[in-house]
Each structure stands twice: as C-alpha cells, then as structure tokens.
Amino acid sequence: MDWGYNVWLEDLFEVDKPLIGMVHLKPLPESPNYEGDISSVIEGSLRDARAIEEGGFDGIIVENFWDLPLTRGRVGPGVVSAMTLAVTEIRREISLPVGVDVLRSDCVSAAAIAHVTGAQFIRCNAYTDTLVTDQGIIQPKAWDVMREIRLLGKRDVRIMADVLCKHAKPLVNLEVGEAARAAVLRGMADAVVVTGTSTGSPPSVSSVRDTKNSVPNVPVIVGSGLDSSNIHQLLRIADGAIVGTWIKMNGEIKMPVSSERVKRIVEAVEGIRKS
C-alpha cells in the first residue's frame, strides 16, 4: 500500500494543510445529560457545521463530545442512531468532507456510521496504543476497525489514528515516533494525530517534528490546542489540523462555533500555505 499523503489527503480536502473543525454534539440518547430532544441536538450540530463551512475550513469531524461520562467500550444503539442522523443531516447541508469520532474510542461504530452516511474518514483515539484513562484501560482497535471495514465491503473510509492520545497515558513507555510507526506500518492507519495532554492543550513542536520524521510520507495532523499563537510553529511541520476549542465563541468549549474565529485561523493558514 502507498501511504503517501498526496494520494488521498489533498485529493479529499482539495487544499494543502487542511483545517478540520469539530462539531461537538450535545448529549445524545443514553447519556445521563440527554435533554430528551433530538431535534435540538441536530439544530446545534448544523449551526456549528455552517459556521465552520462559512468561515472557510476544509472539513468537519462530528463527535459525541458531551456524552459524559464516557465509556471505554462500545456505545449504545441510541448513540449510534443519533450520530448517524446528525452526520446524515450535516452531509445533506454541508459540502465539506465529514469525519466521525465516537468517544471514548468506539472506532468500529465510527467506521459503520461513516460507511452508511458516506462520511469519508474517522478518528480513532486508541488505534494501536493501549491506554490508561479515566474510563479504565482501553485496548487498541486497529484489528476490529479493519475487520469492520472489510465486512462493509470496501476500503472507502480513511483512518486518522491518534498516537499517545490526550486524556490518557500509554500502558507501556513509548516514544511518539515509535507509536506513529506502529499505527501506520502495523495498524494500516492513513494518517496519525498528535495531541497535547488534554482538550485545548497543544502538542509540543518537538513531538510533532518527531512524529513527522518517523512517518515522513504519511499525514501528521495536529489534534488539539491549535490557536493563533502556535499555528505558525505547528503547521509548518504538520500536514493539517483538527480544531475544536479555539473556534468556539471566546474560545470557550461550551459555546457555539464562531465563524469569525474560524476565519482568523484560516487567514493565518493561508499565509503558511503561500510561504
């Protein structure tokens, strides 16, 4: 298999160094905080998706961010059904490529949702790493994901795999480059995602550089903490970024997405792309 990132990343997003915005879904059915109104969940997701597209981002990831506390295992059918509905509605209205992330790391459900809805990629938090988290020990999902994709009939869903994911510690001591090579060479991931220690926390420049050096022909995506203060340092090395917290109004995670803040990030990236 050719893992050169030009084979699919730029083809999918039609731009160098794509920016992918997070649509954080309100609590879904079966979550303790679900408010009983799925139409409100869909309306909120569409509002954020529109702001991401209008602001000039290149893609979207739909995530059950507010389904707290998260489970380490498979999510329930209510979550799968609600996320399938949300992704379907977003894809109906938004022209950007769409991805799916089912927390905490239900990558099999994410792959199935993506396949059914026509979403183009998934994000998997524990792909080839074994992680110690506040949900317990999470086992890697690479085999299960690839089996599910094979059962669905074709390899039409790309995999963005976190390495040494945020809000977690590896069960064994691993360097980020070592984890990246495992995700790509043994797990068959299409891209690797590098994060800081928590939501809104950026990875270090050195960890992004080490990851890129370890898998030079594979997309390396910054997965947390990108903002106007570090974008030039991180995106000069990385091949793209997933942005959630900073594009919210006032940079507050509980607020809706601000198209104006989206535009500010896009303007900064345009300068990097031209340099």
Contacts of 6 (CB under 8 A, 6+ apart): none
Q: Which amino acid is at 263?
A: K
CA distances from 237 to 109, 212, 240 (A): 31, 7, 9
Q: Is the pLDDT of residue 6 over 70?
A: no
Give pLDDT tens digits for 40-79. Answer: 999 999 999 999 999 999 999 999 999 999 999 999 999 9
CA dist., res. 38 & res. 82, Å (int) = 8
| Chain centroid offset of residue 200 CA | 13
Q: Which amino acid is at 169?
A: K
- Residue 164 domain flag: yes
Confidence of residue 154 (pLDDT cuts 50, 70, 90): low
Which of 204, 84, 186, 178 lies closest to 127, judged by CA?
Answer: 186
Q: What is the pLDDT of residue 2?
A: 45
Pair of tokens at residue 150: 């094979």
Q: What is the pLDDT of residue 153?
A: 80
Q: With a threshold of 0.75, does the pTM exceed it?
A: yes
- Residue 12 domain flag: yes
In this structure, what CATH number is given to the domain that contains residue 261?
Answer: 3.20.20.390
Q: Which amino acid is at 127?
A: Y
CA dist., res. 275 & res. 271, Å (int) = 6
- Residue 273 domain flag: no
Domain range enclosing 122: 5-268
Pair of tokens at residue 129: 């790493």
Q: Is the pLDDT of residue 98 over 80?
A: yes
Q: What is the pLDDT of residue 1?
A: 41
Give pLDDT tens digits for 217-256. Answer: 999 999 999 998 999 999 999 999 999 999 999 999 999 9
Give pLDDT tens digits for 169-188. Answer: 999 999 999 999 999 999 99
Give pLDDT tens digits for 194-220. Answer: 999 999 899 999 999 999 999 999 999
- The mean of the pLDDT values for the chain is 94
- Residue 119 domain flag: yes
Q: What is the pLDDT of residue 203?
A: 96
Question: DSSP H helical segments within the chain, as ranges?
Answer: 9-13, 38-55, 77-93, 107-117, 142-152, 176-181, 205-214, 231-235, 259-274
> Which of the pair, 33 or 275, is modelled with greater confidence?
33
- Residue 91 domain flag: yes
Number of domains within the chain: 1
- Residue 275 domain flag: no
Contacts of 40 (CB under 8 A, 6+ apart): 26
